[in-house]
Amino acid sequence: MTDLPIAIASDHAGYALKCALVEELERLGAGVLDLGAHGEQSVDYPDFGDAVGAAIGEGRAERAVIVCGTGIGISIAANRNRHVRAALCHDTTSARLARQHNDANVLALGARLVGSEVAMDCLRVFLETPFEGGRHQRRVDKLG
């Protein structure tokens, strides 16, 4: 893991799962940069995807976790930032491959699609898995 905190953000639909993920990050000894939302009142997911992109682009975090109802909208918003490679994951295999093959730096989760245990497993795998580089590096280079 990095010395920088892990940024985390959600919209209202992802708020409860985000809170559980913050607890897991703290249990794992990671610093946390909580960018909101800070409650279940309706908010706009693009604002939180943008906030994560800005945190990574500004060097306040190297990795992040984003959550909305499906994970789709917030990942689209985050991926608009050139420093972000957000991967929407539904299981540990997708989380592992997102890191190994795509050097994803943002884990996107859908609170209405994955349970909290699966989300925690995805988080741990995402944080523990290194990028393989090699043949994957030239492909990742094309993303920037």
Residues involved in catalysis: 68, 101
Residue type, 20: A
List Cα–Cα distances, 112 to 22, 66, 71, 101, 117, in angstroms.
18, 13, 9, 26, 13
Q: In terms of DSSP bridges, do strands 64-68 and 6-10 run parallel, antiparallel, or are they unpaired? A: parallel
CA 140 to chain centre: 17
Cβ-contact 88, 66 below 8 angstroms: no
